Amino acid sequence: MSPREYQQMLAVLRLELRKTFFSKRSWWVYLLAFGPTLVCFVHGASARHRGELAEDTMIFAGIFQFYYLKLAIFFGCLGIFSNLIRGEMLEKTLHYYFLTAARREVLLWGKYLAGLAASLIIFTSAVTLAFFFIRMHLGQVFQDYLVRGPGLAQLQSYVAVTVLASIGYGSVFLLLGLLYRNPMIPAALVMIWEAISGYLPTLLQKMSMSYYLKSLTPVQLGAEGPLALIAVAVEPAPPELAVTGLLLLSAALLMYASRKVRTLEISYSE
């Protein structure tokens, strides 16, 4: 990428950041991200008992794995990234970008980085605050857990998984928004696949992002309830493999999107 293209990408990034953070359509992304943060704050502010660190640790692990990974980050990225291209077409403004002297791939990467920055700021902030709020009633016990125990390392792991989830799901939904007039239908298929992956054979589980993201979480939770009878237990992926695999898959999706955007035809009659 030439210096001029780099400057063009940064210009698109700055413009899209303002649109992403202050768009009227993004309010529900904030609600998805910070809803559990508020619940954790109420829990931490109202808890009367001391020394319940293990219980709070498991509760937060459940919130992260079953809410943030399977719901909040998934749908948040869907709302942010699928609209980067498709939303511009619905608003009949995409052609203004294409009339500039910037290459389409540069525009695409600028938009992706803006969506990624928004997703990272929103969800890493929400996860970090929830991590602290849910245990703030523990006082010195929580401080020892952070400083002398595994607390800080666990927080870093949760933030890292949030970053990787945003990178991975962001690349998926950017491509879907580029390929389909209604990205919600293929996104629903992706959601179903991710949701049932834990009940599929080992090989099929390893073809889902949730398997690698869950492998990186510091506290592993098994399936509970009636569905636990049909869940297939699989060894977590090694961290190096999980991180490398997610990044390579995201890079491949973005490269394919970069090729497709070159031949994208704008039709506002859709």
Mean pLDDT, residues 16-35 = 83
Query: Phi and psi for 72 in degrees, rounded to 5?
Result: -65, -55
The rounded percent of the chain whose pLDDT value lies above 90 is 33
Q: Is 60 exceeded by the pLDDT of residue 268?
A: no
**Cβ of 139: how many Cβ atoms within 10 Å?**
11
SS3 264: coil
CB 137 within 8 A of CB 44: yes
Choice among 10-14, 220-224, 242-246 with the minimum mean pLDDT? 220-224
Mean pLDDT, residues 238-253 = 92
Q: What is the pLDDT of residues 133-144, one digit of tens each?
A: 998 888 788 888
The residue with tokens 């293929």 is: 186
pLDDT at site 63: 93
In the DSSP assignment, the letter for residue 226 is G
The residue with tokens 């890493």 is: 124
pLDDT at site 125: 96
- Ordered alpha helix ranges (H), the chain: 3-22, 27-46, 53-62, 73-81, 86-90, 94-98, 104-133, 140-147, 151-179, 184-196, 202-205, 209-216, 239-262
Q: What is the pLDDT of residues 95-105, one digit of tens each?
A: 777 777 778 88
pLDDT at site 14: 86
pTM: 0.88
Per-residue CA distances from 77 to 21, 204, 256, 257 (Å) = 13, 23, 19, 16
pLDDT at site 74: 93
| CA–CA gap between residue 9 and residue 106 (Å, rounded) | 6
The residues spanned by each domain of the chain are: 3-262
